[in-house]
Amino acid sequence: MSVSQEVFIDKLRLVLRSPLRFAGNFAMHSNVSGHSRQQQTNDVFSEKWKKYDQSLETERLYAFQRAWYLKLYGFESESALRDHLARCRVVFDAGCGLGYKAAWFAELAPHALVVGMDFSEAARHAARKYANLPNLLFIQGDIAVSGFQDGAVDFVSCDQVIMHTESPEETFAELARITSRVSGEIACYFYARKALPRELLDDYFRGECGKLDRQALWAMAEQLTELGKRLSALNVQFESPDIPGLGIKGGRYDIQRFIYWNFLKCFWNEELGREASVITNFDWYSPSNARRFSEQEVRAIVHGSGLTERFFHAEEACYSGRFVHRAT
């Protein structure tokens, strides 16, 4: 362990409620949930992140995700994110997965303590992969019970995660508790509700997927990916009418996009590649916990935790924003 890493571990101990024992840059807080749905979700993500870690397409995906992150949270460029992080002492990547965004933050802000936490085995993999960054530490644990002291964190990033927790409302309240009331921000992403047929089918298929073993789940993800690819290859567009009763918006659609948004998730992205598309389809139907929200519900969760919007973004897939305590 380098001296500089020891310094950052000491800084982390000062902002935790209870001490943790680190082995290098990794500590175990918890890897078991008392909720069966949450435990199944954790197990699925351990499987997913293992697959990602072995993929040859990860760097392409990470580059795509970093660019999307800037858009989702209102940063005009990577330099703007760097400037924002320059004011932070403690950064928390809540639900860090394989840690590539946590590593990004740590590289942009080498002065700051950056902590990545994930309930799945991904946290351990991330610790091994990014052991070269002294200011980056990883904890396996539940972000809904983070262990940080009140107001200890300057920037919380909970990107594409909160809907996979047992109670997103309680998780967001925990993130609000640990965020500094002086200058802290939470960057958080919520799945958006889709058209009614898609919502009904999603719920039904997610229930059925709980009865399948992992091999069958991966096979289905492959099949959905192939469907998305074939529909995209048709290159057919048409004008759909508005159907308000089903939540289907009128307009000009590519046939694959029309089916995707309104009926069945069959993700395909030529730029990301087949493997990343398969993993994305697996990610959608496999976890038991995968809440979707209306814009009103998102704002209610934020306001209910005593926060307000500094930046808010809405698109077909999601709502995202940067949120601050009202007194800030």
pLDDT in tens, the chain (328 residues): 555 899 999 999 999 999 999 999 999 999 888 888 888 887 878 777 777 666 667 788 889 999 999 999 999 999 999 999 999 999 999 999 999 999 999 999 999 999 999 999 999 999 999 999 999 999 999 999 999 999 999 999 999 999 999 999 999 999 999 999 999 999 999 999 999 999 999 999 988 988 888 899 999 999 999 999 999 999 999 999 999 999 999 999 999 999 999 999 999 999 888 988 998 999 898 888 899 999 999 999 999 999 999 999 999 999 999 999 997 5
Yes or no: say if 289 and 37 are a contact pair by the CB < 8 Å rule.
Answer: yes
The count of residues in the chain is 328
| List of E strands, 166-299 | 185-191, 237-240, 251-254
How many whole angstroms separate alpha carbon 168 and alpha carbon 190?
9
The helix (H) or strand (E) run that includes residue 198 is: helix 196-209
* C-alpha distance from residue 190 to each of 149, 163, 194, 210 (Å): 25, 6, 12, 23
* C-alpha distance from residue 174 to each of 62, 90, 322 (Å): 27, 16, 16
Sign for the CA dihedral angle at 82, 88, 90, 96 comes to negative
